[in-house]
Structure 1
């Protein structure tokens, strides 16, 4: 294998630095040859302890172990073994053990020193799965703080290797592979297909993919590997391939170990392997010469605002598409049929986003709490603060955290190897409904898909019992073994199956306990405050209460679609979620005071509260005014004038003049309205509040006594009238008057002890604007002559003297105002 050429360099790097980054393309042997070399050919005569290889998927772990054992001519469980969830094959002579990243995380939590382990090889770190990122961070801290002798190899095919090398403080060892020719066929559908929506894929795309498979079988030799996003699409395309001259083999994580292993062995006839992303990396499907790629992937997504998580269907990244295509040319020249165009390919994202940025972080937060401070972890990408805080809040509600540390229950939850919600449901459910029912329901919830179909979890439970020794049965056995001693023998109170399923789901997701809210029985409101709806024709339709196990919300939809749920009775809902009785005093146009019984955000009952506390009423009214605005209060002309004039003084002198802006008045409503709020019960009451008196009480003393002097309501003008000031702009109050009324006025008036100039709007006799000035002397001298020239012919009955600074001001016409000393111009 090509990686063999760099094994000596890798061993020397580990000897010198204790860590290395191994960059090697798929098919070079990094997953199989390197661990054997580490176990047998390390400097100093071999590694004294075990080599542990971490793989992101169970099928890859088993396949890698089987391949290494076959290279040695041994059965699995001898020199090479594996351990995955619910299945372990190792022996006393095992030197290389392949494990899943999730299993390795739990081992590190139980004993961070990893006794007996000499080398950790973390494979496929470029996939950026949450567990893989965390294993890398834990391993780095183990090396730094506890085990300087622990060797660490991070193997990657496509990741940003310099960044990874910087995190490990380790050199990069690069292996190259001979490149077999790869024929890329761009095969977009003839007609546009709808983009994926949640878990839904347009059937037209699946028709097209099935057509590409038939075309590939006709045009090419060798087996065909087809990449599809999930098990539902595998079933759908498999049905569309009925009658092809080839064996159609599904390959996904829900298949049994024997079925997965069989899919990875050459067949007696030509094969079409329908696979999810499990076949993207870490393993080789022998005999494959053609890849058909639907171009879609399933990734974890979490709606933090609504608390719903699950899988979402997205376009594959360019790196992912290249990984898939490489499967066709791994052993010989090959071809890839891509169900999209070259132009679309250029628009794909370069890499899949790290799961830490998009996934539910509850399990991540639990493991970090068991390890130490997440802020100190050497992670490639730090978790977003908001989602991490939300995850910790979930752990507090589940009883896994207290005062920032794991509780005994939290440690048991971490040991079970499940999402914390499911671990809590298993541990608490064993006491409430019996160990076996709890384990069986949790096993249904722990994997995507599973026995049966549809959204009725109880029906799927019955379907699981009708099947024989499926992965579900093995998971039930594992969960029973994971329960504390004696728990697996407890039978519980004999709860009926329907009730047991609903109760266990409610224990896992108390915020998803839902009550019917529509007459047609399809719409529900959850205790967490979000809406969910059943699919048309659902067998759960009309159930008064549901415990929702899975739901997803399509973009643009207010309610999430229920994917799995079980009926629940109200008594169980009350027990699991808890009921609180609160006195609510709120504003909804008027004050509404009630004593309310709530289950989460669901209102169970309410009755009027006759005598609510005065402070609660005042707070409710203040909240209502803040939401609806100050227009609920009556601001008369005097109140509006007061606010404007105080704002002018504040702009010129600052404190101690108060801030009477909308924002500040709303923020300090209880303080300045004071006792007047206590008697308010309605909009009518609010409108009667004496706003003017309340604001006057805010004015400072003795400055308040000089307000009319500093910022008067109006000013006398030369014509003898008093003209109101406009304080719309507190820094530049406006005085609007006819130009002839300003004759003889040489200095512009100023306010607030001369600090604020008044802006004069000089109007024509008809009241139209002629000029705006804050410097009358300059205006008379420089601008007035042109204004006079333009307007004296238009307004002949009004005076337009040559020297307005000495002319007699007037608001009347020339004839009415004529007298000694009055010039007509």
Structure 2
């Protein structure tokens, strides 16, 4: 089937490709963009039998089929055909069929043996989409267990093929690019890096200016790479005087096909990543690259998914530049510096590392390999996100407790959209009607950024691409009897479906007229200022993300609903719990009905669980401190003695600091907390007795020896020890009362001398010492001289130790 033209570089390696497949059955082909690997290789291999070639995008699928058919001088559907979801153009003579990678995965699930197919080509494997990884792993598994005769070729435009070669065998490399492409570095003067979906408008100004420069300096059409539809609209507005066309994945097929046909007029084509590979935009001699890509990121802990804007990798930058050299020598204008280029990552991050893995996990389970066990995946899925995905599928009823797919799971997988959306379609259609269910789910599948989802639904109803999606979903749904749905308003119908898809995002306002909400999953979320949805009591949130540096999520798309709809959509989250908590300075006990984290109805609870009350009291102590207890003198003194013992001797003497006592409240206050019911009960606790529970039995009898309440003084006297400062126990007495006392008394079983505060007859301090013998020798003579005249009636012996 190989036509004589065109003479592309790939022709020189076709014999080696055939040889590798004949000898090994599978192989890897590495070839730069524009060398013909997408078109000439399948036509050449079709002489061996029927070829199925998988492309990562619908646009590339149709374009590749049209290109091959035109090379053969035929119409699509004769020897070359294609199939995308909802559309197939093949015939009895078709030898080469181009399909999307997602559709190949679906076919493998239904027909693992791929009956009638001789060769599978997985094109653009370097892009590392989840469907690409699955298709590769499934095909390797089929070759190993069902069809050893099935030939498998993976193609890539980059040299990062070590893992592919490990899985598939020999690598054939075509080094020659089709035409040279010169690089022009055009960095903007000052631009902030992207944050989330936000791109600095100054960069868009610079891109538009670079397009004008290229339009003046070079011939041919200009292909401009931008991260998303919003940036395409903004740059298009800046270039209104030029012949601008757009190329996006969500455009209808007719609009996309028009861009891919030759034009007599020079054009500026503003495109997203759909134009990076596997297709040729005729007439393009210049590429202007903004250097940004939009990739999925998932906050698995909060169940929030979003697209974020990141710098491209070097490999993607080369892919984009190659678009300028497919038909003739070209030029790429890169809107960044050579130095910044050198700092870019070599390759893009595989989607499996950061994406929502729910659909991926379901495909693995349907295949019979839950978690990917035993499959030759290029990278194993990360454990945390995979666990979240599996739990989500169990909640949807798609997996059983062992991780095996259920009949319901197979029905969900058969819908061909995200499992959450498939669940909403299947469960919502009997309520709202099949047509409206398909319309809302098709809208959700578009990832619309419209904050008021219903307003966006009304605006998009005439869009051709949207209606194609609706028809596909309606066909997947089959015959469904409508229940009460036709009587629901658009808001409630859409809200029910959104809630069925994302029950953890059912959100209740945190106050009347507020724009702040609490979602049933426990995440706080806010509407944008001035949102038309502000003040609504309930929302079903279709899309939300949490921008860097923000504690709460940002609601990007939602529907106004009522509590009854929230209850219906989130029925699995409804629960009634006895809640006992410290609130407003005391224990509050209620029986609360909740929708996940959102409280609905609360009633006083007359007989709360003692365990819950004790936990609430401990929480109260943690919040308000030990002052909730009544600290009588005996308790204060005991705590001070224990603190001294801990300071002087360490373990096992207990730590009685505030932090330690609060942390161990259940231990030393356990019985009292078990009997208490409210704040007032804490004030009646015998704190001294409770503190003694902290003493291990081995040392309880030593407390009096280590930290005695009193020490023996001269004669028969017993002097009280003040342990206020655990570093310096104090005994205060009048100087005359120390007469006859030769040495300083000690505590801590003789280890620590007390600090003597010696007082005048009037009780005023005259000396402080830990060394009484030294004081008598050196300090006392001066004290005696000062006090004899002031207190002549008192005895002041020259030798007070006699």
TM-score by length of 1: 0.82
CA distances 1:695-744 after superposition (whole Å, capped 9, x unpaired): 43454546533454477678889999989798999xxx988999xx9x99
- Give the Cα–Cα distance (whole angstroms) in 1 for the partners of residues 626 and 342 of structure 2: 54
Q: Secondary structure at the match of 2:548?
A: coil
- Which residue of structure 1 lines up, in the alignment, with residue 580 of structure 2? 585
1:681 and 1:63, CA in 2 relative to 1: closer, same or farther beyond 3 A? same
Shift of 1:429: 1.3
Which of 213, 216, 219 is the aligned partner of 2:217? 219
Q: Secondary structure at the match of 2:475?
A: helix
Q: Secondary structure at the match of 2:324?
A: coil
Shift of 1:253: 0.6
Shift of 1:219: 0.6
Shift of 1:435: 0.6
The Cα RMSD (Å) is 4.0
Q: Secondary structure at the match of 1:596?
A: strand
- Which residue of structure 2 lines up, in the alignment, with residue 12 of structure 1? 19
- Give the Cα–Cα distance (whole angstroms) in 2 for the partners of residues 182 and 795 of structure 1: 100
Task: Check the 8 A contact 1:763/1:770 in 2, yes or no.
Answer: no
- Which residue of structure 2 lines up, in the alignment, with residue 383 of structure 1? 381
- Give the Cα–Cα distance (whole angstroms) in 2 for the partners of residues 519 and 821 of structure 1: 81
- Correspondences of 1:447-458 after superposition (within 5 Å): 447-449=446-448, 454-458=450-454
- Give the Cα–Cα distance (whole angstroms) in 2 for the partners of residues 79 and 182 of structure 1: 34
Q: Secondary structure at the match of 2:362?
A: helix
- Which residue of structure 2 lines up, in the alignment, with residue 288 of structure 1? 284
Shift of 1:280: 1.2
- Which residue of structure 2 lines up, in the alignment, with residue 274 of structure 1? 270
- Give the Cα–Cα distance (whole angstroms) in 2 for the partners of residues 264 and 600 of structure 1: 50
Task: Check the 8 A contact 2:429/2:480 in 1, yes or no.
Answer: yes
Shift of 1:617: 0.8
- Give the Cα–Cα distance (whole angstroms) in 2 for the partners of residues 257 and 301 of structure 1: 28
- Give the Cα–Cα distance (whole angstroms) in 1 for the partners of residues 155 and 647 of structure 2: 69
Task: Check the 8 A contact 2:512/2:537 in 1, yes or no.
Answer: no
- Give the Cα–Cα distance (whole angstroms) in 2 for the partners of residues 141 and 723 of structure 1: 85
Task: Check the 8 A contact 1:456/1:566 in 2, yes or no.
Answer: yes
Shift of 1:318: 2.6
- Which residue of structure 2 lines up, in the alignment, with residue 144 of structure 1? 144
1:302 and 1:734, CA in 2 relative to 1: closer, same or farther beyond 3 A? same
- Which residue of structure 2 lines up, in the alignment, with residue 680 of structure 1? 676
Say whether 1:473 aligns with 2:447.
Answer: no
- Give the Cα–Cα distance (whole angstroms) in 2 for the partners of residues 727 and 172 of structure 1: 81
Which of 355, 361, 374 is the aligned partner of 2:357? 361
Task: Check the 8 A contact 2:430/2:482 in 1, yes or no.
Answer: no
- Give the Cα–Cα distance (whole angstroms) in 1 for the partners of residues 316 and 756 of structure 2: 73
1:26 and 1:795, CA in 2 relative to 1: closer, same or farther beyond 3 A? farther
1:402 and 1:629, CA in 2 relative to 1: closer, same or farther beyond 3 A? farther
Q: Name which of structure 1's ranges 472-481 and 388-397 shifts more when overlaid on structure 2.
A: 388-397
Shift of 1:189: 2.8
- Which residue of structure 2 lines up, in the alignment, with residue 115 of structure 1? 115
CA distances 1:510-542 after superposition (whole Å, capped 9, x unpaired): 222223335545333322222333334444343
- Which residue of structure 2 lines up, in the alignment, with residue 445 of structure 1? 444
Task: Check the 8 A contact 1:252/1:278 in 2, yes or no.
Answer: yes
- Which residue of structure 1 lines up, in the alignment, with residue 599 of structure 2? 603
Q: Secondary structure at the match of 1:480?
A: helix
Say whether 1:542 aligns with 2:535.
Answer: yes
CA distances 1:271-300 after superposition (whole Å, capped 9, x unpaired): 111100011122222221111112221111
Shift of 1:598: 1.9
Task: Check the 8 A contact 2:642/2:654 in 1, yes or no.
Answer: no
Shift of 1:650: 9.5
CA distances 1:762-817 after superposition (whole Å, capped 9, x unpaired): 9999999999xxxxxxxxxxxx9xxx9xxx9999969xxxxxxxxxxxxxxxx989
Say whether 1:265 aligns with 2:261.
Answer: yes
Task: Check the 8 A contact 1:187/1:341 in 2, yes or no.
Answer: yes
Task: Check the 8 A contact 1:435/1:492 in 2, yes or no.
Answer: no
- Give the Cα–Cα distance (whole angstroms) in 1 for the partners of residues 655 and 111 of structure 2: 62
Return 5+ residue gaps in structure 2 as ranges: 1-7, 733-737, 759-764, 784-794
1:186 and 1:761, CA in 2 relative to 1: closer, same or farther beyond 3 A? farther
Task: Check the 8 A contact 2:34/2:178 in 1, yes or no.
Answer: no
Task: Check the 8 A contact 1:717/1:723 in 2, yes or no.
Answer: no
Return 5+ residue gaps in structure 1 as ranges: 41-45, 772-783, 799-814
Task: Check the 8 A contact 1:229/1:297 in 2, yes or no.
Answer: yes
TM-score by length of 2: 0.84
- Give the Cα–Cα distance (whole angstroms) in 2 for the partners of residues 269 and 560 of structure 1: 46
1:697 and 1:238, CA in 2 relative to 1: closer, same or farther beyond 3 A? closer
Q: Secondary structure at the match of 1:193?
A: coil
- Correspondences of 1:216-615 after superposition (within 5 Å): 216-244=214-242, 247-371=243-367, 372-374=369-371, 376=373, 377-403=375-401, 404-449=403-448, 454-467=450-463, 470-484=464-478, 486-487=479-480, 492-578=485-571, 579-588=574-583, 589-615=585-611
Task: Check the 8 A contact 1:363/1:420 in 2, yes or no.
Answer: yes
- Give the Cα–Cα distance (whole angstroms) in 2 for the partners of residues 110 and 749 of structure 1: 88
- Give the Cα–Cα distance (whole angstroms) in 2 for the partners of residues 97 and 235 of structure 1: 34
- Give the Cα–Cα distance (whole angstroms) in 2 for the partners of residues 157 and 234 of structure 1: 26
- Give the Cα–Cα distance (whole angstroms) in 1 for the partners of residues 351 and 326 of structure 2: 28
1:97 and 1:490, CA in 2 relative to 1: closer, same or farther beyond 3 A? farther
- Which residue of structure 2 lines up, in the alignment, with residue 805 of structure 1? none
Q: Secondary structure at the match of 2:34?
A: coil
1:346 and 1:178, CA in 2 relative to 1: closer, same or farther beyond 3 A? closer
- Which residue of structure 2 lines up, in the alignment, with residue 810 of structure 1? none
1:673 and 1:735, CA in 2 relative to 1: closer, same or farther beyond 3 A? closer
1:93 and 1:614, CA in 2 relative to 1: closer, same or farther beyond 3 A? same
- Correspondences of 1:82-97 after superposition (within 5 Å): 82-97=82-97
CA distances 1:629-663 after superposition (whole Å, capped 9, x unpaired): 667556744443565577689967x7xx8898988
CA distances 1:132-189 after superposition (whole Å, capped 9, x unpaired): 22222333333333333333222222363223323x1623222111464433222233
Shift of 1:330: 3.1
Shift of 1:427: 0.5
